[in-house]
Amino acid sequence: MAEVSTQSHPANVTAKKNVKFIITRQDKPDSPSYTEEFELPYRPGMNVISALMEIQRNPVDNTGKATAPVCWESNCLEEVCGACSMVINGKPRQACSALVDKLEQPVHIAPMKTFPVVRDLVIDRSRMFGALKKVKAWIPIDGTYDLGAGPRMPEKKRQWAYELSKCMTCGVCLEACPNVNDRTDFIGPAALSQVRLFNAHPTGEMNKEDRLDALMEPGGIEGCGNSQNCVRSCPKGIPLTTSIAEMNKDTSKHMFKRWLGV
């Protein structure tokens, strides 16, 4: 009969471990960038935002030197607002949904470079919001009074339009697009997809031609190089390349109608 060992094993005791973060920082918009390293005690379920919060509470680098708290943006913490976009281990994504358990160590964090850096991980998204203004990405109404129920959208159209409405203006698709940079004025895939969304709306289509005109201007749809990086990187899985193809078709039709005077 085999002997049974009476030695106790600390099966429920987990070894303490630290997580290392290498963060690209920048003190001012016109100052050079640099990196700082931080080590934090590991906690199950921690994400990048909780790590940044811990660094903010105790801004000390891995050498024990006190430093300025890291600046970043966040709001909803559930991948809805799009505010916490940053480059994590070389990939633009949302920090709130980036779980440390699923990230390669050490964790490299940097600001998105498509947009001007304000400080550390805070960026200026004016380019993206300016593009949305250019294409009138909204539903116009006349007056502030109750206009009553608007026209209904067919269910089949509503289903795919809902997918486009998930856009949270996070800027990840612009960061991934090689055609969006400081040498071009390309409005980017997010604005192109929003044109498709609002042109499909029963009320929004009143400004359909204005939006298509905007897409035909410099920096419009002709700036797309069809790299398809945008659809692969979108955290909401929006069919951006499908929208771009549809807008390419619609602008072509619109152009011929203008030539024919229809």
Asked if the peptide bond before residue 154 counts as cis, ω within 30 degrees of 0, the response is no
Element (H, E) at 198: helix 189-200
The whole-number pLDDT of residue 151 equals 83
Measure Cα distances from 197 to 134, 142, 166, 179, 242 in Å: 15, 20, 11, 22, 12
The whole-number pLDDT of residue 15 equals 53
* Cβ 221 vs Cβ 244: under 8 Å: yes
Measure Cα distances from 104 to 37, 42, 45, 54, 238 in Å: 15, 14, 15, 19, 26
Any idea which residue has 């502030």 for tokens? 144
The whole-number pLDDT of residue 258 equals 86
SS3 assignment, position 48: helix
d(CA 170, CA 94): 8
- 214-256 confidence digits (pLDDT tens): 999 999 999 999 999 999 999 999 999 999 999 999 999 999 9
SS3 assignment, position 11: coil
The whole-number pLDDT of residue 16 equals 66
Angle between helix 240-260 and helix 189-200 axes, rounded to 10 deg: 70
Per-position pLDDT tens, the chain of length 262: 444 344 444 433 345 689 999 999 999 999 999 999 999 999 999 999 999 999 999 999 999 999 999 999 999 999 999 999 999 999 999 999 999 999 999 999 999 999 999 999 999 999 999 999 999 999 887 777 777 777 888 999 999 999 999 999 999 999 999 999 999 999 999 999 999 999 999 989 999 999 999 999 999 999 999 999 999 999 999 999 999 999 999 999 999 988 888 7
| Interacting residues of 139 by C-beta distance below 8 A, sequence separation 6+ | 198, 201, 203, 204
Handedness of CA 115, 117, 120, 122 (dihedral sign): negative
The pairs formed by 163-166 with CB atoms below 8 angstroms and a separation of 24 or more are 163/237, 163/238, 163/239, 164/193, 164/194, 164/196, 164/197, 164/238, 164/239, 164/243, 165/197, 166/236, 166/237, 166/238
d(CA 137, CA 207): 10
Helix-strand-coil percent breakdown of the chain, rounded to 5? 35, 15, 50
Give, in degrees to the nearest 5, the angle at Cα 178 between 175 and 181. 70
The whole-number pLDDT of residue 235 equals 96
pTM check: above 0.85: yes
Per DSSP, what are the bridge partners of residue 41? 18
> Domains, the chain, ranges and CATH?
18-123 (3.10.20.30), 126-140+151-260 (1.10.1060.10)
Length in residues, the chain: 262
